[in-house]
Amino acid sequence: MRIQFTVNDEELKILTKKVIEGNYPSISEYCKCSSLQENTSYVDLYNTLLNKISFLSKDKEFVLRELIATPPALIGRWFYENVNKGLVKNVEHIGKAEGGVEKYKKI
């Protein structure tokens, strides 16, 4: 089932702030967790990923599967988008690794 709703610009700013403060991977995932009053496995997995990245040394290059065994594609998409938006601090996207997976660098 798909649930949709519309927000105005001010509400979007509020939701975006809550996503950043809570380390949620996306606004939709934040809204789902808030509605259910519990974190999903995606939120837990995304935060595990961010935690593992925090322990990487500077200039370390990585792909997500090195940090999380068989990461779901949705986590990969959210991470890619958040890196490009500057929401994931100290990480930059550096292209593709062997096999066409996205490659990142801790900065």
Q: pLDDT digit string (tens) for 16-40?
A: 999 999 889 999 999 998 888 887 7
Sheet (strand 61-62) strand order? 61-62, 102-106, 91-96
Q: pLDDT digit string (tens) for 45-81?
A: 999 999 999 999 999 999 999 999 888 889 999 999 9
Domain boundaries, the chain: 9-106
Specify the pLDDT at position 39. Answer: 77
Q: What is the dihedral of CA 5, 72, 61, 39, to 10 degrees?
A: 60
Helix residue ranges, H only, 1-107: 9-22, 27-36, 41-54, 73-84
Q: Say what the pTM is.
A: 0.77
